[in-house]
Amino acid sequence: MVVKVGVYGLLRLITLLLPGSAPTLRLVLIMLGLIGIGFGGVTALRTHNVKRILAYSTLAQIGFILLAIGWGTPLALAAALIYAFNHALIKSALLMLAGLVASRTTTKTSSLAASHGVGYGMPWISALFFVGGLALAGIPPLNGFISKLAIVQGGAEAAQSGDPNSWVWLGLAVAGSILSLLYITNTWQNVFQKPPDNRTANLKPEGEGDSWLAPALLIGACVALGLFAAPLVDAAQSIAVQITQPALYISAVLGG
């Protein structure tokens, strides 16, 4: 949620506080978004700690949101809002599951070496992490797919509005989504699909560790928002129209 406050601030900065400088700021956001997607995705692939992988992943996912804000069309702004909401659910669930796995070891470590096979024999936890990972990568019919689809539609609208470079930015963003699938699949295989070995940290007795109820509820929400996305999409589109009309916000805050 703290990350999403920054997204809200950027939206207000572009549409309310500095609308005259919006074209320049949008180009900066596009460049920062692409850097975030590339750097976050590649670094997540090269990191050997589950929580750090997810942290660098957040950098990449915020890059998609910055890209959408940079495009600035109503559809792209709606995509940014959809992405921010869905990412909050997905990443919260995955971080909880990473903490759950770490809590099953006596050292509570999240390093891939010490977590190797910790989730082996935990089919429900493995399934939750797998579904959450697919949502993060944007695989249908999960809510992450709705987010990525909205980004693609926003980029296409920006290109059709007279910015041919948007096709290039969109292609780079789609390539960044492939990185998400690679690092999340690698993490899932190492932690949940391989038996423990002599590198694995000492495991607590079965039944000890964090509960999986909260992440299960969040993953359930990810599935529901993928299958029934219309209310969120409609709300985001309505907000995107309002946010480009500063007078509405000023009137709501100051009255008159």
pLDDT per residue over 174-228, tens digit each? 888 899 999 999 999 989 988 887 777 777 666 666 688 999 999 999 999 999 9
Q: Is the pLDDT of residue 162 over 80?
A: no
Q: How far apart are alpha carbons 222 and 64 in whole angstroms?
A: 18
Indicate the pTM of the whole model: 0.91
List CB contacts of 91: < 8 A, sequence separation 6 or more. 54, 57, 58, 61, 136
**The predicted structure's pLDDT at residue 184:** 93
Which residues touch 143 (CB under 8 Å, ≥6 apart)?
A: 86, 89, 90, 135, 221, 222, 223, 224, 225, 226, 229
pLDDT, position 3: 84
Q: CA-based angle 5:79:23, to the nearest 5?
A: 80
Q: How many whole angstroms separate alpha carbon 44 and alpha carbon 64?
A: 16
Q: Is 118 exposed, middle or buried (0-12, 13-18, 19+ CB in 10 A)?
A: buried
Condensed to tens digits (0 to 9), the pLDDT of residues 29-87 reads: 999 999 999 999 999 999 999 999 999 999 999 999 999 999 988 999 999 999 999 99
Decide if pLDDT at 20 tops 80.
no
